[in-house]
Amino acid sequence: MTTSWTLLRVLRDRNAGLYLMGLLVSAFGTSSLSLAAGVWVKDLTGSDGLAALCLLAVWAPTLAGPALGTLADRVRRRPLLIGMDLGLAALLLTLFTVDSPEGLWLLFTVLLLYGTVAVVAGAAESALVTAAVPGDLLGDFNGLRMTVTEGMKLVAPLTGAGLYAAFGGPAVAALDAGTFVVAAGMCALLRVREERPVRSGDGWRRDTAEGVRHLWGHPGLRPLVLAAGTTMLLGSLNATTTYAVVDRLGHSPAYAGVLYAVQGAGSVTAGLCVGAALRRLHGRRLAAAGIALNALAVAARAWPSDAAALASAAATGLALPCVLVATFTAVQRRTPGPLLGRATATAETLVFAPNVIGLAAGAGLVELASPGLLLPLYGLALLLPAVALAQGADSASRTAARSPSDANPA
């Protein structure tokens, strides 16, 4: 009942409904291309390493998030998003020329630009949402946004793989281009009034630093962002044990797909409920609860049992959206509009860049020790940010009780 009410509350708002529809369409195209690009490179070169570089090319621009996010604060966000959607649509159509290993430079260039636009778009969308969607709907909207994204990860890769098998990589690129055109049209239909941003005159570097200082200096945002980044770091260490866990269970590597699907289903479910949970618990408590659940899930994965592995995957899927939605909703609510693009991009870098470190370190650690030893240690480490956030939430509540003017702890 709560889930249905959450969905209705968001969809009854015209702007929120349009935003979600545009996101659904573009997420479908992005998820379709994400798998097809690696298969495309593998078919052209036979190289697993080059195929893996497709993912790196898309994620690498996240490291420049604070600087890229500054662009979202220097221009009006809706025209910027429309222009980037249409620009990417045109860029993707150039991939029709890639039919041999000699053309891979173009594919990797497109993927790198794809990732760069994604960083800027993420910052601009976060800022535009605060102007287009009522504040009391932000938590629900962000939860449904995650449901849409994770849901497409379950459905779209199969579509992309089928389309690739039937018609080749250019057909998938054309599909993705079409979804960007539709998303641009949805964005154009939004009813939102944006003032032209006032340039500070301090230069790009100082503007970027201002967003970083706000995020790092805010007593409500810094603990959330650091806890979320730590969670993603340990989550990526956990992810590197997946095939070792599957091997201990006596299954073929393909069984990992089952675990990923169960985790995705958990994330879809969490996205539908997290808005209501955020209203009841507030940001720090919800994030702390999500991290604690993830800690238990990671530790339970060490038990060599199919039931434990499946329950752990579902619990991780439920836990991570709580942490991410709580963190980024707090950034939206507690950052002035002119700074929101920079602050959001900085938060995304601090939260998601640790994935790269965790994947690299975890790949080495899983060769040295068994998951039965590593996973309990990862779970124990996850309890530290959970406890720190829970204690901070209690302290914030006591402060709010003494200061009625700030009764909504982060």
- Give per-residue pLDDT as tens, 169-211: 999 999 999 999 999 999 999 888 877 766 655 677 787 888 8
What's the confidence (pLDDT) of residue 180? Answer: 95
pTM of the predicted structure, to 2 decimals: 0.79
Q: What is the pLDDT of residue 19?
A: 87
Question: What percentage of the chain carries pLDDT values higher than 70?
Answer: 91
> What are the domain boundaries of the chain?
1-197, 203-410
- Extract the tokens encoding 349: 């870098």
Residues in the chain: 410
Instruction: Report pLDDT for 378.
Output: 95
- pLDDT score for 81: 94
> Is the pLDDT confidence value at 164 over 80?
yes
Q: What digits encode the pLDDT tens for the residues 292-301?
A: 999 999 999 9
Mean pLDDT for 94-118 is 93
As a whole number of angstroms, the distance between CA 23 and CA 38 comes to: 23
What is the reported pLDDT for 405?
42
Task: Single out the residue of 190, 186, 146 nearest to residue 27, CA to CA.
Answer: 146
Q: Over 90: is that where the pLDDT of 308 sits?
A: yes
pLDDT tops 70 at residue 74: yes
Q: What is the pLDDT of residues 325-372, one digit of tens each?
A: 999 999 988 998 888 888 888 998 899 888 878 877 887 888 889 999
Convert the pLDDT of each residue in 10-64 to its tens digit: 778 888 888 888 988 998 998 888 878 888 988 898 886 688 788 778 888 888 8
C-alpha distances out from residue 240 to 192, 254, 320, Å: 43, 15, 17
Residue 201 confidence (pLDDT): 57
- Distance (Å) of CA 351 to CA 38, 63, 197, 233, 305: 25, 11, 27, 8, 31
34 three-state secondary structure: helix
Contacts (Cβ under 8 Å, ≥6 apart) of 90: 177
Rg, the chain, Cα only: 21
Task: Convert 161-190 to b/e letters by CB count within 10 Å (16 or more is b).
Answer: eebbeeebbbbbbbbbbebbbbbbbbbeeb
User: Which of 3.40.50.300, 1.10.238.10, 1.20.1250.20, 2.60.40.10 would CATH assign to domain 203-410?
Assistant: 1.20.1250.20
Two structure tokens written together for 410? 């982060």
The DSSP annotation for 151-192 comes to HHHHHHHHHHHHHHHHH-HHHHHHHHHHHHHHHHHHHHT---
Q: Within a 13 Å sphere around the CA of 171, how many CA atoms are in the beta-carbon half?
A: 10
pLDDT at residue 401 in the model: 44
Report the pLDDT value the prediction gives residue 291, as an integer from 0 to 100: 97
Task: Give every CB contact of residue 115 below 8 A, 6+ residues apart in sequence.
Answer: 57, 58, 59, 60, 61, 62
Q: What is the pLDDT of residue 407?
A: 44
Q: Which residue has the tokens 């879809």?
A: 268
Copy the structure tokens of residue 127: 């800022």
pLDDT at 198: 64
Least confident among 79-93, 125-139, 352-366, 391-405: 391-405
Architecture of the domain spanning 1-197: Up-down Bundle (1.20)
1-197 and 203-410, same CATH topology: yes
Distance (Å, rounded) from C-alpha 291 to C-alpha 274?
Answer: 14
- The residue type of 245 is V
- Of the listed ranges 128-142, 213-227, 338-352, the least confidently predicted one is 128-142
Measured at the alpha carbon of residue 167, what is the angle toward residues 30 and 89, in degrees to the nearest 5?
35
The predicted model gives 120-134 an average pLDDT of 87
Mean pLDDT of the chain: 86
Q: Is the pLDDT of residue 92 over 80?
A: yes
**Does position 146 have pLDDT exceeding 50, yes or no?**
yes
When mean pLDDT is compared across 254-263, 375-384, 393-402, the lowest value belongs to: 393-402
pLDDT the model gives residue 136: 77
Task: Give yes or no for a contact between 392 and 285, defined as CB atoms under 8 angstroms apart.
Answer: no
Q: What is the pLDDT of residue 162?
A: 86
User: At residue 99, what are phi and psi to the nearest 5 degrees?
Assistant: -135, 10
What digits encode the pLDDT tens for the residues 232-255?
999 989 988 888 898 899 988 768
With cut-offs at 50, 70 and 90, classify the pLDDT of residue 409.
very low
Residue 399 has pLDDT above 60, yes or no: no
Does the pLDDT at position 279 exceed 60?
yes
Pull the structure tokens for residue 106: 């173009």
Distance CA 196, CA 202 (A): 17
Separation between Cα atoms, residue 249 and residue 243, nearest integer Å: 10
Q: How many CA atoms lie within 13 A of 159 on its CB side?
A: 17
- Of 141, 127, 119, 136, nearest to 337 by C-alpha is 127
Helix (H, G, I), strand (E, B) or coil at 221: coil
CA distance 232 to 212: 20
